[in-house]
Amino acid sequence: MFSGIEFAHPGFFWLLIIIPGMIGWYIWRENKLYGSLSVSAVKAFAIPVKNSLPKFRHAGVVLRLLAVGALILALARPQSSLSWQNSTTEGIDIMIASDISGSMLAEDFQPNRLEAGKNIAIDFIKNRPDDRIGLVIFSGESFTQCPLTIDHDVLVNLYADVKYGMIDDGTAIGMGLATAVNRLKESEAKSKVVILLTDGSNNMGSIPPLTAAEIAKDFGIRVYTVGIGTHGFAPYPVQTQFGVQYQRIPVDVDEGTLTKIANITGGKYFRATDNQTLKNIYEQIDRMEKAKIDVTQFHKKTELFLPFALIALFLLSLEFILKNTWLRGALT
């Protein structure tokens, strides 16, 4: 009944203690006014004519109690509360640039670097439903696997299809970054971000990584670089005539270049050495790149005390009329 209703002066509800007092006083008065008569037999008394009016002799106090309750509700000033808000999200556009070169098949991550990077990045995408996100993949060259989109189901499906061998082998970090920047340069988002993940050093492509970083800086794009790979050597699967054999290959992450890219663009460099640290890195980026939301909230209150006041007036009037007309003598 009172869903969505607030009370401007709830302190008046303390007056409800009057009602038990009125009931107690009424019971005490009834016991004082009406005595008892004891007789040995009732045969001498004629059978009284049935009359329903005495049944209503307590109606007066019931009406008064209801009237007092309604009056207290009116004094507490019930109000309906209606609110709504306008929200404006200053979205973030994010391009993920992922290395898919042959070295990403190393198994110092589970099941390997490429699959671990894909799975953790997909979780990151799912946790940012309000942002436009796209995907660039690079190896010996680069191309856009998915342009900026808010349809994250499509993006996730395209990301899941990424595998080694889609493009020529190599590590063209500068080309991968330049392709991601090209996708973001026309963006009108308040924040434009590239997450660049690689496990090697630039050895192919026509655009040097630091040149691509300068271009990103000119377009106001922040780059977070992630070097993926354990320190030292990593197990790498090699197919032989005897089945899959593992070789230990050196981990060749160009941390210096990745750090410079991040510093030039106002981003940050991270090093991931296993699945958990990579997951933690994405969580850190998620916290640093939150969408800004401007909320304007409106409240509208409507006074509802008048119906309760009118109910109280009606009940008191009804008691007065019945007491002095139809139920005269029955009400006390």
End-to-end CA distance of the chain: 33
Given this model, what pLDDT does residue 83 score?
54
Instruction: Find residue 92's DSSP bridge partners.
Output: 191
Domain limits, the chain = 5-31+52-83+299-326, 93-291
Q: How far is CA 305 from CA 8, 29, 68, 302, 311, in A?
A: 10, 33, 14, 9, 10
Question: Does the domain spanning 93-291 belong to CATH 3.30.980.20?
Answer: no
Angle at 80 between CA 76 and CA 86, to 5 degrees: 140
Under 8 Å CB-to-CB from 86, ≥6 apart: which residues? Answer: 295, 296
216-to-72, 177, 222, 309 alpha-carbon distances in Å: 68, 8, 7, 69
Three-state DSSP state, 161: coil
Mean pLDDT, 10 residues at a time, over the chain (332 residues)?
71 84 79 60 54 62 82 83 54 93 94 96 92 95 95 95 94 97 91 95 94 97 96 91 89 95 96 95 89 52 80 84 69 48
Amino acid at 226: V
- Residue 272 is predicted with a pLDDT of 96
By residue count, the chain amounts to 332
DSSP 273: -
Pairing, β 132-138 against β 233-240: unpaired
pTM greater than 0.75? no
Structure tokens at 226: 């992630």
Q: How many CB atoms lie within 10 A of CB 49?
A: 5
Q: For residue 259, give the 3-state DSSP assignment.
A: helix
Q: How far is CA 287 from the centre of its chain?
A: 15
> Which pLDDT belongs to residue 293?
45
Both tokens of 81, joined, read 């509360």
- The radius of gyration of the chain from alpha carbons, rounded to an integer in Å, stands at 40
Residue whose entry in the numeric block shows the structure tokens 């709830």: 10
Q: For residue 3, what pLDDT is reported?
A: 60
Four-point Cα dihedral 137, 143, 149, 151, nearest 10: -60
| Residues linked to residue 222 through DSSP beta bridges, in sequence order | 193
The secondary structure element, H or E, covering residue 281 is helix 275-288
Strand partners, 81: 301
Residues contacting 294, CB < 8 A, separation 6+: 87, 88, 90
